[in-house]
Chain A
Amino acid sequence: QVQLQQSGPGLVKPSQTLSLTCAISGDSVSSITAAWNWIRQSPSRGLEWLGRTYYRSKWYNEYALSLKSRITINADTSKNQFSLQLNSVTLEDSAVYFCAREGGYFGSGSFYWDNWFDPWGQGTLVIVSS
């Protein structure tokens, strides 16, 4: 089955860049029936979808509007993983960050996303502090 293993620092200074990686086993980051997502959870904001990357003849990225100017999600096919970069972090970016897979399927000549997440990575607590 698909497993996601997260890595990255748990402490980031204000104004710097948060960087996390999610390694995939049991699937391919280049799969045409999957999207690779980042989601975060904090007491103040709850669960918040951040963005995703997926491959459909070329790479696509979609981001939450509130973060669009600060976020980048990239895939690394050589390592079968994807990453999150969040620039110019503030205290409000402190949260537990999760990676998660969304599947999809082809039907009636079209592609449809599942619109749910399974599985999730183990989570990484990131504290923004000087």
Chain B
Amino acid sequence: SYELTQPPSVSVSPGRTARITCSGDKLGDKYASWYQQKPGQSPVLVIYQDTKRPSGISARFSGSNSGTTATLTISGTQALDEADYYCQAWDSSAFYVFGGGTKVTVL
């Protein structure tokens, strides 16, 4: 079955750039989506189709996807960006697959 791998945690200083990676076999051939989840809340879509932002999502969030790695970038990170982030893709063997999640800590 298809798997997506994320680092468990990423730390970033306020105002700096955080990069969260998501790795999977030929992931660049698929579309990646990203979700933000704060404690006790439901996931919220922040990036879809690799690079697109839904209405209402801050322009500080951007995405890329090439080769085997998709990356979510948070520019000018703020305390309110502290959350868990999950990547997700579709694969014919498993339908919808999620990464294990990355906890972003703003120090």
Contacts and interface: CB of A to CB of B under 8 A. Distances in A.
A115 B101 contact: no
Given A118-B54, A122-B42, A123-B42, A46 B90 contact: no
B88 interface: yes
A102 to B, nearest CB: 8
Given A46-B98, A47-B98, A48-B98, A116 B42 contact: no
A115 B45 contact: no
A116 B98 CA distance: 11
B100 interface: yes
Contacts of B43: 47, 98, 117, 120
Nearest to B95: A49
Interface string B51-77: 000100000000000000000000000
A80 to B, nearest CB: 20
Contacts of A116: 31, 33, 45, 48-49, 88
A119 B96 CA distance: 16
A118 B95 contact: no
Interface residues of B, number: 23
A76 interface: no
Contacts of A114: 48
A121 B48 contact: no
A11 interface: no
A45 B19 CA distance: 24
Contacts of B100: 46
Contact of B89 (A62, A113, A115, A120): A115
Contact of B42 (A46, A62, A121): A121
List the 4 closest A-B pairs by CB distance, nearest first: A47-B98, A49-B96, A116-B33, A120-B42
30 contacts: A37-B96, A46-B98, A46-B99, A46-B101, A47-B43, A47-B98, A47-B101, A48-B98, A49-B95, A64-B94, A64-B95, A65-B94, A98-B43, A114-B48, A115-B31, A115-B33, A115-B89, A115-B90, A115-B96, A117-B33, A117-B45, A117-B88, A117-B96, A118-B45, A118-B54, A119-B42, A120-B42, A121-B42, A122-B42, A123-B41
